[in-house]
Amino acid sequence: MVKILFICLGNICRSPAADGIMHRLVSQAGLDDQYLIDSAGIGSWHVGQLPDQRMRRHGQRHGYLFNHRARQFKPQDFDRFDLIAVMDHENYHDVSRQARTETDRLKIISMSDYLQHHPGQSTIPDPYYGSDSDFEWVIELLEDACDGLLKQLRANATK
């Protein structure tokens, strides 16, 4: 089983969206029993809350149900997960600082590395202070990156 944890700043926009998108992709591929997917945030501000209502609304327009309850990333998550997928450079640095070993650090990946159709896009930007179009853009990027990540994981599994 491959265990993936998506990380963003507060766990109310990008990471729960990635969580929901990846769940759907895995389910559509009939691979539910092969993946454990979760999300968390760097900060504790939103622990226990549903994703931002704007992200839920935009997700719903695309047929997603983003209903993950926010939680904070803990160093113990390195023990539970194979991959820690971050959304931007700041998330990468925040999670890296909590890595206890080089093995922990090697589990951290950047979602933008899995973008297939958005060359030059180096992060999944935080839409929190943005407009509706920013939330749509993030969903588009995450659909692309999650698809790319799943393709890579499936290719690695057949090697």
Catalytic residues: 8, 14, 126
Helix pair 132-157, 14-28: axis angle to 10 deg:
50
Q: How far apart are CA 33 and CA 80, in angstroms?
A: 16
H/E segment holding residue 150 = helix 132-157
Q: How far apart are CA 93 and CA 154, in angstroms?
A: 28
